Amino acid sequence: MYQLPNSVAAHYTLYTYIKALHLIAVVCWFAGLFYLPRLFVYHALTTNPVSQNQFKIMEHKLFWFIMTPSGILSIILGEILSRGFGITGLWLHIKLMLVGTLVIYHVYCFKLMEDFAKDYNTKTHKWLRIFNEYPVIVLILCVILAVVKPSFGME
C-alpha cells in the first residue's frame, strides 16, 4: 500500500492546495486537448470561408489562452508535488512518460493549427476523429496511476 511521504504530512495543507490547483490545471488542459482536435474535425469539413475564419480564431484562442497556459501550469505544479513533497514510485515514472506524450500531442496540435491557419490542412476529418481519441486513453491511464498508485510488485 502506498504511503504519503513524511514531507506531505508535515505540510499537508500546502500539499492539498497545490494538488487542487494541479487538478484544476489538468482539467483545463484536457478540456483543450479534447476540444481543439474536435474543432479541427469541423474545420476540415467546412468549405465556407466565413466558418473557416471563425474556426481559425477559435483554435488560436483555445490553444494560446487555455491549453498552453494550463498545460504549463499542470507540469509545473506536478513537478512541485513530486519533487517538493518527495512523491516517487514506478507509477509516477509511467505517468510522467504519458504526460510527455501529451506534450508531444500538444505540440502536434500546434502544427495542425498552423496548417489550418495557412489553409494547408492535409488531414481528413476521419483521421482527425481518431487523433482526437488519444488524450482520452492517456487520461484514463493517468487517473488510474495517480489514484491506485500501483507498485507493480517492485516497491
Query: Mind listing the pLDDT tens digit for each residue in 32-66?
Result: 999 999 999 999 999 999 999 999 999 999 999 99
Cα(116)–Cα(134) distance, rounded to whole angstroms? 20
Would you state the cell numbers that stand for residue 54, as one nine-digit string? 471563425
Are 131 and 111 within 8 A, CB to CB? Answer: no
49 class by beta-carbon count within 10 Å (0-12 exposed, 13-18 middle, 19+ buried): exposed
Average pLDDT of every residue of the chain: 94
pTM summary value:
0.92
The rounded Cα 108 to chain-centroid distance in angstroms is 12
Task: Tell me the per-residue pLDDT of 116-154, one tens digit each, with 9 for 90 and over.
Answer: 999 999 999 999 999 999 999 999 999 999 999 998 876
Predicted local distance difference test score (pLDDT) of residue 1: 58
Task: Tell me the per-residue pLDDT of 73-119, one tens digit each, with 9 for 90 and over.
Answer: 999 999 999 999 888 899 999 999 999 999 999 999 999 999 999 99
Which of these, 144, 129, 37, 148, lies nearest to 98 by C-alpha position? Answer: 144
Are 89 and 155 within 8 A, CB to CB? Answer: yes
